Amino acid sequence: MFFSCRSTRSVQKKSLICNSKGVKESASLMSFSCRSTRFVQKMSLICNSKGIKESPSLMSFSCRSTRFVQKMSLSKRKTRSSKRLPPGSLGLPFLGQSLEFLRAMRSNDGRKWLEQRIRKYGPVSKLNLFGKPAVFIHGQAANKLVFTSDSSGTAQTTAMRAILGDQTLFGLSGHDHKRVRNALMTFLKPESLKAYVGKMDDKVNEHLQVYWQGKREITIFWVSSMTQMDEHIFPEPSKFDPGRFENQASIPPYSFIPFGGGPHLCAGYEFAKIETLVTIHYIVTQFTWKLTADDSFTLDPMPTPTRGLPIQIFPRNIM
């Protein structure tokens, strides 16, 4: 009888704790608690009236029922605390949204998949990719957080770490990132790059003569960002309109980010500009070209032409 009363008091105590913390017990849980308590009390009275000691199985049942009610109360509190997380579902254990995300990437619908998620949950939502819970963020504030926060760092793939090592600019953050970036900027300034143009031209010609003879197909990778395709920032984002980028002051900050931004602005963006200008100059002045067939793109995971985007190049007759 003593054990039964003690288990009853334990259940009542747990119920009071739940109520004091704002966690309501369900009607079925309260009903089960009351029924199990009355059953144990009734059996104890019968045993005492007949001079029979309580059996270990009866005591075990009372103990198990008490623990069950305690676990249900704890699960209620955990459910309440989960409401502080961003909206969204983690999906199935380990798999999460991995398969549907990969399917969308392979069919070149990755941007649509992310846009649907933004419309459903907003710019911040939780998800589960490749066995790891994660938070998806989108928009100008998200871009600013990634490029200006010293507490966050980018992670490289295993293959990239094996090739470049762990101490690359992309994998560093805080003081280490600033130190390596300043060292790189000493020879990536526009003044230094001007002296490289002639040497780069010789090196490219040497490479083409030695390694690229007979090559007629070139695979081109095109990279875009979700923010550049946001119709709230750039009307008709799918329309080809280079003029929209002419007035940089009219573009909201951290919305057009081909070279990153803030402290994480690409250290070699001036080099990329010179490289692009020189390439376009030679193509326009010395060659004409055309597509040999219509082509489409797939994301696996980078944008890739399904047929390789074959083109024909013809040298110009320069007088």
The domain in which residue 99 lies consists of 86-148
Average model confidence (pLDDT) across the chain: 73
Q: Does 56 map to a domain?
A: no
Q: Which of 158, 154, 90, 161 is nearest to 127 (CA)?
A: 90
- The owner of tokens 């004091």 is 20
- The DSSP bridge pattern shows strands 303-305 and 297-299 to be antiparallel
- Total domain count, the chain: 2
Asked whether residue 33 is assigned to any structural domain, the reply reads no
Judge whether 297 and 306 are in contact, CB under 8 Å: yes
Tallying the residues shown for the chain, one arrives at 319
Is position 114 within any domain?
Answer: yes
Report the candidate in 102, 103, 105, 101 with the shortest Cα–Cα distance to residue 298: 105
Range 184-210 burial, b when 16+ CB lie within 10 A, else e? eeeebeeeebeeeeeeeeeeeeeeeee
Q: Looking at residue 146, what is its pLDDT?
A: 78
Helices 269-286, 197-211: crossing angle, 10 deg rounding? 60
Whole-number Å distance between alpha carbons of 113 and 129: 14
The verdict on residue 129 lying in a domain is yes
Fill in the DSSP letter of residue 303.
E
Angle between helical axes of 110-121 and 98-106 (0-180°, round to 10): 130
pLDDT tens-digit readout, 200-247? 888 888 888 787 766 666 554 434 567 777 888 888 888 888 888 787
pLDDT at 73 over 80: no
Look at residue 108 and tell me if it is in a domain.
yes
Query: Angle at Cα 286 formed by Cα 285 and Cα 291, nearest 5°?
Result: 100
H or E segment and range at residue 319? none
Q: Is the pLDDT of residue 122 over 80?
A: yes
> By C-alpha distance, which of 106, 129, 159, 97 is closest to 303?
106
What are the Cα distances from residue 60, in Å, to 38, 54, 55, 57, 317? 15, 10, 9, 5, 97
Q: Which among 229, 253, 248, 258 has a CA at the least distance from the CA of 145? A: 253
Give 74-107 pLDDT, tens digit per residue: 554 454 445 678 898 888 888 899 899 899 888 8
Full-model pTM: 0.40
Where residue 150 falls among pLDDT bands split at 50, 70, 90? low
101 inside domain = yes
The span from the CA of 240 to the CA of 229, in Å, is 12
Q: Does residue 103 belong to any structural domain of this protein?
A: yes
pLDDT at 284: 86
Residue, of 166 and 14, whose pLDDT is higher = 166
Closest CA to 127 of 155, 88, 81: 88
Q: Is the pLDDT score of 120 beyond 70?
A: yes
Q: 257 or 125: whose pLDDT is higher?
A: 125
269 and 257 Cβ atoms separated by less than 8 Å: no
pLDDT of residue 58 exceeding 80: no
> Of 100, 127, 148, which marks where a domain is finished?
148
The mean pLDDT of 253-272, rounded to a whole number, is: 83
Contact assessment for residue 230 and residue 255, using Cβ atoms and an 8 Å cutoff = yes
Residue 182 located in a structural domain: no
